[in-house]
Each structure stands twice: as structure tokens, then as C-alpha cells.
Structure 1
């Protein structure tokens, strides 16, 4: 995710050069600090050298440089982007016709272009998740989220990535890669947890009808299962999402 790359250097090419030790009493915050060189020994073993008191000017300069590298650079945000934080990127997809792939005993090995509802995706340092929408327009903070009507998903919209190829970074530039990783991987099984679709004969029958083209180009929104969650609550991290 942004903040892990520094310029063109890779994180695994960086090495510790110095350490700051802070001193304080239990009931107080740090009141004194020292800076120490980090000495690289044989076999990559590092040790902390003798320290010296931190100079105020040097401390502020160090913090300024760290803040510049840690902050995500300014970038253009497409209108599909809903939220960007240090740990997650959230975006939405309009209802559309997209190809799906299935590889499971109950349905077989099948693929077809089928209608999808509006979707909200969340790529984060702690996982990948997807939610369905009733509306076809850009969601608002008050928009109610629904269970994703897909196999390979857990409760709270969490996606079982499995062997899917997804980006290693979490940023706006990687959104297309995250979407491709989801839509271009095969759905293999319904995961344990709550109901994903409201269909009289269950999820296997629903997806057989979808693959057979029963619903044309309109996703049947009546099968969506509501969640007790709004977009604003998702952004705020309610329920540990």
C-alpha cells in the first residue's frame, strides 16, 4: 500500500541506519531521547551503538522527512472511488454484464456473461471484501449494503482469494487489478456462514439460472440479502469490517 514504497527504492533493499530511544516514567510520556547508530555486523546482524542526546532541530527534521515518505502522494481520484485511507481503498462498480467462471461439482465447469448488481469493493491490508447494492447509481453514506451473491465469499463480504491473482499493493492505481482478480477467478463453492442469495431453491439453482440466461441483462435484485450495514458504517470500520 502507499507509504511502503519510498521513491523508486524497494522496501526489502532498505537497511536500518539509526535508532531513537525514548525515556520516561510510567505515568508520563517521553521526556528524554537519544539517537543511536545501527551497526551492521557479519551475517546481517545489526547492533545499536552508543547514543547521544537528540537535538531538537534534528528531531523535527527527521519527523518531517518521515511524514513526507509516509503520506500518500496527491493523485486524481476517479468518481468510482468512495474512500481512501492509509489501510484501505474502497470503490464501487455500476451494474454491468460481466463474465463469470464456475468450477464445482454441482454446476460443473461453466462460464457465461451474466448481469451483476452494483457492487462495493474494499481492498485493505487485512483482506479483500465485496458488497452488493440495490441502487444503480453511485452510493451515498446512507446506502444499505447487501450480501454479495457469489460463491467464495464469507460473512461480512470477505472474499476467499484462494489462487486468485491480486495486486500486492492497496492503492487507487491497483483497483483494476483487484477487480480482475475477483471476476477472472473461478467460483468453486459457497462458503460457510449466512445466506448469500434469497432463492427458493438455493444458491446452486440461482447460479444455474443465471448461467442459462434466465434473467437477461438485468440482475434480479429481489434475491439480494440485506446486511445490517450502511456504506458509512463500512467506511468507519463497524463490526470489524
Structure 2
């Protein structure tokens, strides 16, 4: 009760007012700031400055509800992490080397489900979506910003790299740590059923069904000569 009374007894004086304008023809916003005079009237209208924006952001970040722990690492940053943004609309970009993973395909494709070789991959994801690309990168060599991107050689991936997750239920919490975030998106992708190409996009040279059938039959490494280049480099994803 004492703490509640102390809270009620605190006196708050108006110091600044913000007026938000939204463009009629575009999704743009403009914020105007007002200083508040001794008589409570707004004075000195001006565009919200960088320093005022930073002060406001810090004030909001101090509240428990808006504290931002999204994509914070538990420890040292993962070695395969390439880039991360922990903003409200934060995202991460990471790399996985050539490896064998377990893939699932719908029965009508005639491709067995099980362990098969995939190429080195670049992943970009936020809370709600995933994009994937392939790179021609040897084992254990981390790609740099100028690494050329290739189309991911999978079904269910648009030409842009965005993945159609179908009926997969995506659960990424607001406070999801970086390591869990990366692990979950890889699991969502590899554990979903691959079913069809997207809008006529051909992600590999030759027949994609025959390519995966041959990989299962031979157990060989993914043939990177079958990858198709995109106009993008890793730096274009930042």
C-alpha cells in the first residue's frame, strides 16, 4: 500500500507533445514535436529530432513489455551467423555448409524420404518468414559479403528465395534467442513436405525430380554445377 501511495503522490508535468502525420497516398509518416510551456500550451513546433527519437526509444525500451531480447545470443555469437538485426522487425542471416539432411517429399513426386546431400545454404528469416539460397562454398569456409547467391534447389521456394511454408505452424516468441531462432527455422524448412515448384520457377538445371531421385540413389554430394545463379550477392540481403 505504501508503494501504491508513493506512486499516486508523484507529480508529472507535461514536457513534450508529439503529433503524427500519415501520408494520404503512401505509407509514410512524419512526426512533429512540441515543447510544452509553463502554462501547458504547446510551443516550438519542429520535426522530431534524432536525439529526441533516441530518448523516446530508450524510455520505451525500459518498460518490461517492450524490452527487446529478440535474437539476443545466449553466449558468443554462433560461428555460422553472418548478420543479425535485433530491431522490432529484426532478422538474422546465417550459413550452413554442404551436408546430409533428412527431407520429406509428397508421395506423388516419387522421391524417397530420408537423408540426402544438400548444398551450402544461406538463410534469412524474421519472425514470420524465411528465404533460402544456395552458395558454392567448400566445407568449413564461411562465405563473405560478395559471395554469389544461387537459387535454392528445392520445391516450395519462390524465385525470390522466399519459402512457402504451407500448413507449417510457425511459432517464434517475442523473446526467442538467436540460437533457438536459427534452429527452429531450419527444422521448419527441412521437416515440411516438399511438394511443388512455385509459379513455374525452375530452381535447378535439368529435371528437379530426377535430380533428387538420383541423389537418393547414389548418396553423392549435391552437384553444384546444377545450381542456377541469381543476380544477388549476400550483401544484397543486408
TM-score (norm 1): 0.68
The aligned runs of 1:1-241 (5 Å cut-off) are 21-23=17-19, 29-32=32-35, 63-68=57-62, 69-72=66-69, 75=73, 76-85=76-85, 86=87, 87-107=90-110, 110-125=112-127, 127-136=129-138, 137-169=141-173, 171-172=177-178, 173-199=180-206, 202-213=207-218, 216-235=219-238
The CA deviation at 1:53 is: 7.2
Q: 1:61 to 1:153 in 2, by over 3 A?
A: closer
In 1: Cα distance, 2:223 partner to 2:167 partner: 29
CA distance in 1, matches of 2:20, 2:162: 42
Is the contact made by 2:17 and 2:33 (CA closer than 8 Å) also made in structure 1? no
Instruction: Indicate the SS of the match to 1:113.
Output: strand
Aligned residue for 1:29, secondary structure, equals: strand
Kept after mapping to 2: 8 A contact 1:146/1:224: yes
Q: Aligned equivalents of 1:143 and 1:33: distance in 2?
A: 53
Q: Any stretches of 5+ residues in structure 1 without a counterpart?
A: 1-19, 35-51, 236-241
1:127: how far off? Answer: 1.8
Query: What is the rounded CA distance, in whole Å, between the counterparts of 1:116 and 1:99 in structure 2?
Result: 10
- Give the C-alpha shift of residue 24 in structure 1: 9.0
Cα distance, 1:112 vs. partner?
A: 2.3
- Where 1:212 maps in the other structure, the secondary structure is helix
Asked whether the equivalents of residues 22 and 33 of structure 1 are also in contact (C-alpha less than 8 Å), the reply is no
Deviation string, structure 1 residues 69-115 (Cα, Å, up to 9, x no partner): 5544853310111111122111111110111111042326x312111
Which TM-score applies when normalising by structure 2? Answer: 0.69
Deviations, residues 108-155 of structure 1 (Å, cap 9, x unaligned):
6x3121111100111124521110010122110000000000001111
Alpha-carbon distance, 1:164 to partner: 2.4
